[in-house]
Chains A and B, each alone.
Chain A
């Protein structure tokens, strides 16, 4: 799987190199275990569509229970750095494939252990158990081998590697591995024959009789041409042996006592083999893998991701070629998502977004909220480069269409909510408002907008304010951005929001550009 290249951040907070001291505890926190995360998403997950992202992100990974990690903002900038380092190690060290392999083996191990508990016949139980142990040992050795040669610069993974180094040379693990190998090897050498004549079943050691189907195939092979239909009836290997198979397995055990007696002893000795901290790693690394895999699904569409610089000192934030992650996810890799840039230069604090409808204003607002959340849980963010703010709280308030029934009551509730938000917000908070007064009169909207903005300005909040009221862009600390409609297929909602005026490209050439058939674009395309 290819992961899109994630651009470097600049100015990450440095991590003191005291990693030799702390033992491995968690991949999520430096030096202590996880377990205090939010179980419910923060309120802004609905407006920002991050809720949708979580669903896609962890589909098929339910057993790891990862959503709490995604819901919960990192406690400090150092933790963000801790996680970014792990992301970077995974991505740059080519470790993603390693971890995916490991996770697959651990999943298999768990299902085999469940199997061993569930089945009835002795030799089947033992078979499941041995397979589970074999899978586990293989997983640990492979992981150890891969990590040994990996260049790790993250503290999280280095600490874990040290833990693993010690684990694999421990007596517990070494004897488990050795005994498992011997038992499996013995079993794999067992070949027997079953002869069926009516109701009589005879089990013998195999004595080299030739393969009859091979003879048949040989006769006809001159007609061989590619794959034909497979006529084999699919005999589902039920997890449970039937009693005939159980009888056969007992006869096989009698035919090969040198293999089956040691197997009994082995199963007693290693009844509880998997290690706890390996389990912690197995779960938490999925937080990273899931996200990187998710990014990879978008890699082919030419979208970029980067490690944001996260700061709580400067409000001069920016992002280039960023986009709405939920939208990109929904469109898939076939359709291209339009990317946007934004930046704030002191004393700018508030982006006022206006312009034609369906031009991407809401998408822009959502993107802004998403970026900040993602950055603050330590994840790479959509875009080529980004510096984002380490907020204390993030508030969003979006106009909802279904609210339009009760207009009078709605304005009141809206204002009530904004009031609560502004009371709770500090100068380290972020606020995203989207068309909150669109259903009231122009006069009211202008008046309220102005008042609310003044409060936002006073609080020195970072904010995005989507509005249809042009006049608001004249207030201090604000910068105006305008949605533009590219000559698009109206079905595709991919839009550009820019500072100042729309570009002056002639209509026809703009369409040509959109379809990639200008001289410049074609020359590039034909080169491929």
Chain B
């Protein structure tokens, strides 16, 4: 039985045991770490988690495991719509699943034991508790089927009713009784290597009838018996060992059954956990007056990206007021180059696109009036970084090594976000490297958004790739103050670092 609330046809892959301490470097691949760091995703994960470690992990892992297929995105969008409409029921289901996580502790079950008999006893106790929780889940399914419209929830509820019918509960209860084995253990065996018994299989007890001749020890070749003398302790142990082999499988079966139920609840909790996270963010954003919309996932070709009133969700979650939104229409272009003065909002703009893309590909809403974009196979970021503190390598070396690592993972249909990349050397060399990298990416059917102050680089794109590129520039009002608005405009040959200098130095 599966929950199937995140994918139509499969479970979400999640570690069964979370590391004791959250350590992003341990848990994420280098490129995921880049995304988290460059897009400041921790802010988003924190709000989604509401301070809960588990929800943080869920938010993080689901967000980073981007969907790459529009219909899968729509599937999640519909489940999310149900959740946004029925927040209380969703949180209640989540709480039952969370309660199920406590069962092993309460039933004193799940510690590894060397005694099949004790494994069996613990598993039986746990199964009894799980049965009660399953009954509660089914009750919700029975009572609220019509309150949920999405394919995901409808399927889940139907499955619950079908699989957890009354006969099922009866059968399980009956077996739990039989598993006590009051009348001894019979098992079959075969001869393995060195003629030692192997393949011990527990057999239904009591089905072999003993003939009377056998009972009085006469004329039979069908059965022979012996008895361990009372003082032969080693013999008694050996017999117990054989019996354990018989119980071994059934103890394993019962314990695994308990595990199966536990993992159903775990999966339910995880998948609902993501939507609970979405509820948490929604509540926060709506309270402070942000506009949310359901993004429209489009096919990769022709290149498409278009939005209005798009804000940086993480920036918004840190501020009191709603953030400035930007609009752009980049349909038909696979390269977007953003130039303009420092602190002109270029990075925020770039991040807002990256975040919206990731949120869309997680099935979430985005902070915009409208947002539509081609669904990427993967999103990569390459942002300028502080110099390597260990001083073991130069800055350019670090940047290029990072790029080299990304190149290992890039496949066609990647969205690549560059922020002042390859500025670790002089303009001529940095531009040359940037040009080569971008050209190779575009030719492999990827899309690039490039924030740069390197005029040489931006201008060469304008001259060499006029049909594939769109240029935007951070805008300034006449008084020299930045508006954090970006407009479509060709790159300008002068950098605006001068402005920044005057603002900082003259303002004192």
Contacts and interface: CB of A to CB of B under 8 A. Distances in A.
User: Which of the listed residues B183, B189, B222, B393 has the most CB atoms from chain A within 10 Å of its own CB?
Assistant: B189
User: Which of the listed residues A128, A216, A254, A490 has the most CB atoms from chain B within 10 Å of its own CB?
Assistant: A216
Given A196-B185, A212-B250, A515-B403, A223 B1 contact: yes
Contacts of A220: 172, 253, 256-257, 260-261
A14 interface: no
B208 A209 contact: yes
B238 A231 contact: no
Interface stretch (A244-252, A278-286, A322-330, A365-373): A244-252
B216 interface: no
Interface string A192-207: 1111111111111111
A207 B201 contact: no
B2 interface: yes
A519 B203 contact: no
Contact of A202 (B207, B224, B257, B440): B224
Contact of B228 (A204, A244, A487, A508): A244
Given A196-B242, A228-B259, A509-B429, A243 B222 contact: no
Contact of A200 (B1, B227, B433): B227
Contacts of B112: 231
Given A199-B228, A201-B239, A219-B171, A211 B437 contact: no
Contact of A244 (B194, B239, B432): B239
Given A219-B171, A512-B400, A231 B194 contact: no
A197 B181 CA distance: 11
A216 B193 contact: no
A123 B218 CA distance: 26
Contact of A491 (B193, B392, B444): B392
A235 B223 contact: no
A191 B196 contact: no
A254 B203 CA distance: 23
A217 B189 contact: no
A244 B195 CA distance: 13
Contacts, number: 282
Contact of B2 (A197, A225, A235, A237): A225
B407 A512 contact: no
Interface stretch (B62-70, B113-121, B150-158, B367-375): B113-121
B115 to A, nearest CB: 7
A245 to B, nearest CB: 6
Contacts of B193: 112, 127-128, 131, 237
Given A212-B203, A509-B432, A187 B226 contact: no
B267 A225 contact: yes
Interface stretch (A72-80, A164-172, A520-528): A520-528
A36 interface: no
A62 interface: no
B225 A233 contact: no
A245 B194 CA distance: 12
A241 to B, nearest CB: 6
A517 interface: yes
B397 A487 contact: yes
B384 interface: no
Interface in B300-338: none
Interface string A473-487: 000000000000001
A526 B115 contact: no
Contacts of B246: 194, 196
A461 B459 CA distance: 61
A345 to B, nearest CB: 38
A63 interface: no
Interface residues of B, number: 102
Contacts of A517: 400, 403-404, 407, 433, 436-437
A291 B10 CA distance: 44
Interface string B80-112: 000000000000000000000000000000001
A192 B408 contact: no
Contacts of B403: 515, 517
A193 B186 contact: yes
A301 to B, nearest CB: 14
Interface string B435-453: 1110111011000000000
Contact of A201 (B226, B393, B440): B226
B392 A489 contact: yes
B184 interface: yes
B196 A213 contact: no
A215 B204 contact: yes
A252 B191 contact: yes
B235 A193 contact: no
Interface string A170-200: 0000000000000000011011111111111
Contacts of B175: 215-216, 219
A219 B267 CA distance: 21
A31 to B, nearest CB: 41
Contact of A225 (B200, B260, B435, B436): B260
Nearest to B184: A197
Interface string A220-262: 1011111011111101010101111101110110110000000
Contacts of A89: none
B249 interface: yes
Contacts of A196: 184-186, 239, 242-243, 246
B223 A191 contact: no
Interface in B213-249: 221-228, 230, 234-236, 238-239, 241-246, 248-249
A233 B203 contact: no
A251 B225 CA distance: 8
Given A201-B227, A228-B260, A508 B204 contact: no
B402 to A, nearest CB: 9
User: Which of the listed residues B221, B226, B267 has the most CB atoms from chain A within 10 Å of its own CB?
Assistant: B226
A249 B226 CA distance: 12
B263 interface: yes
Contact of B163 (A204, A210, A222, A522): A222
Nearest to A506: B429
A511 interface: yes
A519 B440 contact: yes
A126 interface: yes
Contacts of B392: 489-491
B58 interface: no
Given A219-B172, A489-B392, A511 B397 contact: yes
A34 interface: no
A235 to B, nearest CB: 6
A198 B241 CA distance: 13
B251 interface: yes
Contacts of A243: 234-235, 238
B260 A251 contact: no
A124 B407 contact: no
Given A190-B190, A508-B429, A508-B433, A526 B444 contact: yes
Nearest to B445: A526
B400 A244 contact: no
Contacts of B235: 243-244
A515 B251 CA distance: 54
A10 interface: no
A212 B181 CA distance: 11
A70 B228 CA distance: 58
A508 B186 contact: no
A27 B396 CA distance: 55
Contacts of B44: none
A358 interface: no
19 contacts: A193-B189, A196-B243, A201-B226, A201-B228, A201-B239, A203-B224, A204-B222, A211-B201, A211-B203, A212-B250, A216-B253, A223-B260, A225-B264, A231-B119, A235-B241, A244-B242, A511-B397, A515-B400, A522-B436
The 9 closest A-B pairs by CB, nearest first: A515-B404, A127-B195, A223-B260, A522-B440, A220-B257, A519-B436, A244-B238, A209-B203, A526-B444
Given A128-B193, A232-B252, 9 more contacts: A204-B208, A204-B222, A216-B175, A226-B263, A251-B224, A506-B429, A508-B430, A509-B433, A512-B400
